[in-house]
Amino acid sequence: MISVRDGQNRILAEIAAPTPPEVVPLTRAYGRVLADDVRAPFDVPPADNSAVDGYAVASADIPAEGRATLAVVADLPAGSIHEGTVARGQTVRIMTGAPMPRGTGTVYPQEVVERDGDTIRVGPIAKGANVRLRGEDVEAGAAVLQAGTPLRAQDVGLIASLGQWQVLVHARPRVALASTGDEVAEPGEPRAPGQIYDANRFTLRGLVEQAGAEVLDLGIVPDVRDELSARLLDASRMADVVVTSGGVSVGDYDLVKDVLAELGGIDFWQVAMQPGRPLAVGRIGTAHFFGLPGNPVASMLAFMLFVRPALFKLAGRRALFAEAFEARTTEPLAKKRGRREYKRGVLAWRGGAWEVHTTGPQGSGILSSMVAGNCLIVLDEDRGDVAAGESVLVEPF
Ligand code: AMP
Ligand code: MG
């Protein structure tokens, strides 16, 4: 038996280099992983500018008390600049975002100003009020985003604000996906007695896409040695990672093990966890191989724990693991010492604290538990039974 943590470390140690970088336009950059730091070529904003619609004045013209009268000498819309210098006793009508005219350093919002023809009357205001300073968002030369960051909407927006229209990202890892088993039928097709519809290829496809990788769909492979062998060998030539479900336990038709032992360097692991104990890990040619268990919850969990961090590392991401935090269980949880257990939970904020309860029956074939749940309850190896009210780790999914 191997622990979850050891298994993860061994898998990650096998992934030497991330996928090569490629240039994509910003319109295709969302969700991609940066291959290089993004640096600001200039200050953002590029000049001091007004944060409001109002009147720009010299700080020396701000009255300490009472009111001052200033002459309005120009009108400055956003996108234009004021050529001259604003003299003492003068002001410029300015719109939000317009660069501050030379000689000014404070803006009165138009709401606090009395305007009368070409003059305004103003009272005291803090020096520098309502001015956004050059470089206050980003300073020239600063690394605003680091290599290894998966790009969120705001990250793409920030790159765009630097005037860049394309960006260097890692190629998406290609993941070949197959379901194995004579009993597995394709949804939409008739199902023979004794058959079940394929769930795993669809849950796994979603997880692969969510991880920022591309799916090559190999369909369903029957429990026939030569066919399995040929399909997996093919897959290993097209993909960076090959993922199968089913056929890794000890049944008579669990052929994945035998076939892989012939094709490449494959380890079979009994991972000290529940659900999802049997797992085949290794390589076929240059492709990384993961043989996940057949039970739908077990295959999803094994993907989340072992395949996802590998895909993240392959895609050049820096953060590889989900964040966990603590919640209070509202029900007792049966737990066997010596293995890590993952229960499907419903997590909610109640009475000022995070509370969690299980989704009900926790069998590794009960996929509806993943549907009803919104988190994994993670119970570590050295923990025994958990009483209601105890604190447990949860990982939202
Ligand atoms: P196996 O590891 O092949 O013995 O499969 C374990 C259990 O998972 C069996 O009940 C299979 O019928 C079920 N199973 C295997 N593959 C799938 C699949 N693609 N979708 C849903 N259930 C599956
Ligand atoms: Mg099978």
Q: Which ligand is nearest the CA of 198, by number?
A: 1
Residue 346 has pLDDT above 80, yes or no: yes
* Per-residue model confidence (pLDDT) at position 388: 98
Ligand 1, residue 298: give the atom nearest the CA.
8
Q: Which of 182, 228, 245, 270 maximizes ligand 1 atoms within 8 Å of its Cβ, making it the mutation to test the pocket? A: 245
pLDDT tier at 263, thresholds 50, 70, 90: confident
Distance 302 CA to ligand 2 centre (A): 16
pLDDT, residue 123, reads 97
Measured between alpha carbons, how far is 32 from 35 in angstroms, rounded to an integer? 9
Question: pLDDT tens for residues 62-116?
Answer: 999 999 999 999 999 888 999 999 999 999 999 999 999 999 999 999 999 999 9
What is the maximum span of the chain, computed from C-alpha positions, in angstroms? Answer: 95
Neighbours of 223 (CB within 10 A): 19
390 closest CA partner among 337, 314, 327: 327
Among 177, 180, 200, which residue has the most ligand 1 atoms within 8 Å of its CB, making it the best to mutate?
200
Question: How many angstroms separate the alpha carbon of residue 329 from the centre of ligand 1?
Answer: 31
Could you give all domains of the chain from N- to C-terminal order, each with its CATH number? 4-18+172-314 (3.40.980.10), 21-44+143-170 (3.90.105.10), 49-132 (2.170.190.11), 325-396 (2.40.340.10)
| pLDDT for 154 beyond 80 | yes
The dihedral region occupied by 163, where left means phi > 0, alpha psi between -120 and 50, and beta the remainder, is left
**Ligand 1, CB cutoff 6 Å, lining residues:** 179, 181, 183-184, 196, 198-201, 245-249, 251, 254, 293-296
Question: Which of ligand 1's atoms lies nearest the C-alpha of 248?
Answer: 2
Query: Best mutation site among 295, 301, 370 for ligand 1, i.e. most ligand atoms within 8 A of its Cβ?
Result: 295
Look over the chain and give the mean of its residue pLDDT values, rounded to a whole number.
96
Q: Distance, CA 242 to ligand 1 centroid (Å)?
A: 18
In this prediction, residues 322-338 reach a mean pLDDT of 96
Q: Give distance in angstroms: CA of 97 to centre of ligand 2.
A: 64
Taking a 5 Å cut-off on Cβ, the residues next to ion ligand 2 are 181, 246-247
Nearest listed ligand to the Cα of residue 200: 1
Q: Tell me the pLDDT band of 260, cut-offs 50, 70 and 90.
A: confident
Looking at 54-63, 140-149, 258-267, 319-328, which range is the least confident one? 258-267
Q: What is the pLDDT of residue 225?
A: 92
Return the pLDDT at 258: 86
* Per-residue confidence band for 163, with pLDDT thresholds at 50, 70 and 90: very high
CA distance to 119, 185, 197, 246, 390, per residue, from 193 (Å)? 89, 11, 11, 19, 46
CA of 345 to the centre of ligand 2 (A): 28
pTM for the predicted model, two decimal places:
0.90
The per-residue pLDDT for 266 is 86
Question: ∠ CA 346-352-354 to the nearest 5 degrees?
Answer: 25
Which ligand has the minimum distance to the alpha carbon of residue 292? 1
Give Cα separations from 335 to 96, 115, 248, 302, 339 (angstroms).
61, 75, 25, 19, 9
Q: How far is the CA of 372 from the centre of ligand 2 (A)?
A: 26
Residues in the chain: 397
Compute the average pLDDT of residues 349-368. 96
Among 179, 232, 242, 237, CA closest to 208: 242
Confidence of residue 257 (pLDDT cuts 50, 70, 90): confident
In this predicted structure, which of 38-47, 159-168, 257-266, 351-360 has the lowest mean pLDDT? 257-266
- Going by alpha carbons, the residue nearest to atom 6 of ligand 1 is 294
Q: Half-sphere exposure of residue 393, counting CA atoms within 13 Å on the CB side?
A: 12
Average pLDDT over residues 240-255: 89
Beta strands in 293-352 (DSSP E): 325-329, 340-350
Average pLDDT of the segment spanning 283-297: 95
Confidence of residue 204 (pLDDT cuts 50, 70, 90): very high
- pLDDT of res. 245: 96
Cα–Cα distance, 349 to 367 (Å, whole number): 25
- pLDDT of 253 above 80: no
Amino acid at 247: G
